[in-house]
Amino acid sequence: MFKRILLSLLMLAGLLACTAKADTASIKKNLEAKFPKADITSVTKTPYAGLYEVVIDGQIVYSDENANYLFLGSVVDTRTHKNITNERLAKLNAVNPDSFPLDHAIKFVKGDGSRKLIVFSDPECPYCKRLEQELAKMNNVTIYDFPYPIESLHPGTTAVSKAIWCSRDRNAAWQNALLKNVYPNNDGKCDNPVDANIALGDKLHVTGTPTLFFSNGQRVPGAVPADKLDQMLNAAK
């Protein structure tokens, strides 16, 4: 008798698992039909409020079980005050720092260079200029600045990025542009990685600058103050 009950329970669990799988598949199919140009990476059933987590174009949104409604915003656990959405997004966006082509970046070594920071930066972006002021205060860090122009926001910035790379002293040219608004005078027609950086950023869903990557794979957008950067670099190391 007990064995029959156990077998029935196992069959029911299997049926429920198949149903859940079918639900996520149907939600994904429905959303792809409604948003044919979107990149829907995954659909996952969450343990809260009957919602399904949808990773779409590198961002997290939530869907009901029929994909009739999408919910934008963060889910916060009121017991712990943790932002569940941000924690999930941080894990999903984590990148292996060893996968970056560091020869496509402008390298700055400060102090002993023991900590590592990768930055996707647009030389015409005001927030990137602000970050560069904060980076100037840092010590004991190796910074890899990937020229990542966003032409739609700053027309002409691709040409500036290429001219910086093609300068005789590209480190000085980079800092002159971002800290002093002094730009190099060359045609930018040397062999440069700017177009490859744009393609890499698109692949990583880098949608704004500056975007920072730490040695533990953590991704952080925006101009972070130097004292906060110091804490994050130590935590990552």
Residues 6+ apart with CB under 8 A from 24: 43, 44, 45, 52
CA distances from residue 107 to 7, 100, 104, 230 in whole angstroms, order as listed: 62, 13, 9, 18
Same domain? For 146 and 68 the reply is no
In a domain, residue 13? The reply is no
Q: Specify the residue for token string 């429920």.
A: 16
DSSP string, 132-174: HHHHTT--SEEEEEEE---TTTSTTHHHHHHHHHTSTTHHHHH
Say yes or no: 82 and 111 in one domain.
no
Task: For the chain, state the CA radius of gyration.
Answer: 23
Contact (CB, 8 A) for 118 and 142 = no
Within a domain: 68: yes
User: Do both 50 and 110 map to the same domain?
Assistant: no
Whether residue 58 is found in the same domain as residue 145: no
Under 8 Å between Cβ of 194 and 76: no
Residues 77 and 110 in one domain: no
| Domain final residue, candidates 93, 118, 147 | 93
Per-residue model confidence (pLDDT) at position 89: 84
CATH number at residue 139: 3.40.30.10
Please check whether residue 222 lies inside any domain of the structure: yes
Listed residue (222, 228, 226) closest to 207, CA to CA: 222
Which pLDDT belongs to residue 5?
A: 39
Last residue of a domain, one of 93, 115, 150: 93
Same-domain status, 140 and 84: no
CA nearest neighbour of 45 among 75, 29, 67, 23: 23
The answer to the question of residue 9 being in a domain is: no
Instruction: Give pLDDT, residue 95.
Output: 84
Residue span of the structural domain in which 37 resides: 26-93
Tell me the one-letter amino acid at 136: A
Both 86 and 114 in a single domain? no
Query: Domain check: are 78 and 130 in the same one?
Result: no
Q: Environment class of residue 156 by beta-carbon count within 10 Å: exposed (0-12), middle (13-18) or buried (19+)?
A: exposed
Report the pLDDT value the prediction gives residue 94, as an integer from 0 to 100.
Answer: 79
d(Cα 184, Cα 162) in Å, to the nearest integer?
10
pLDDT at 214: 95
Tokens matching residue 233: 């670099």
Q: Is residue 159 part of a domain?
A: yes
- Domain membership of residue 2 (yes or no) is no
**One domain, residues 88 and 159:** no
- Reported pTM: 0.73
Domain boundary among 40, 72, 93: 93
Q: With contact defined as beta carbons under 8 Å apart, do 117 and 92 qualify?
A: no
Based on the domain organization, do 119 and 202 belong to the same domain? yes
Same domain, 55 and 147: no
**pLDDT at residue number 16:** 39
Considering the domain architecture, whether residues 104 and 81 belong to the same structural domain is answered as no
Query: Tokens for 30?
Result: 């429905």
**Residue 8: inside a domain, yes or no?**
no
Helices within the chain (DSSP H only): 2-34, 84-93, 126-135, 157-165, 170-180, 194-203, 226-236
Give me the tens of pLDDT residue by residue for the chain, a chain 237 residues long. 534 433 343 343 443 344 445 589 999 999 999 999 989 999 999 998 889 999 998 889 999 998 999 999 999 999 999 999 988 887 887 788 889 999 999 999 999 999 999 999 999 999 999 999 999 999 999 999 999 999 999 999 999 999 999 999 999 999 999 999 999 999 999 999 999 999 999 999 898 999 999 999 889 999 999 999 999 999 998
Provide the domain count of the chain: 2
CATH number at residue 85: 3.10.450.70
Residue 58 burial (C-beta neighbours within 10 Å; 0-12, 13-18, 19+): middle
Q: Would you state the pLDDT for residue 64?
A: 92
Instruction: Please check whether residue 41 lies inside any domain of the structure.
Output: yes
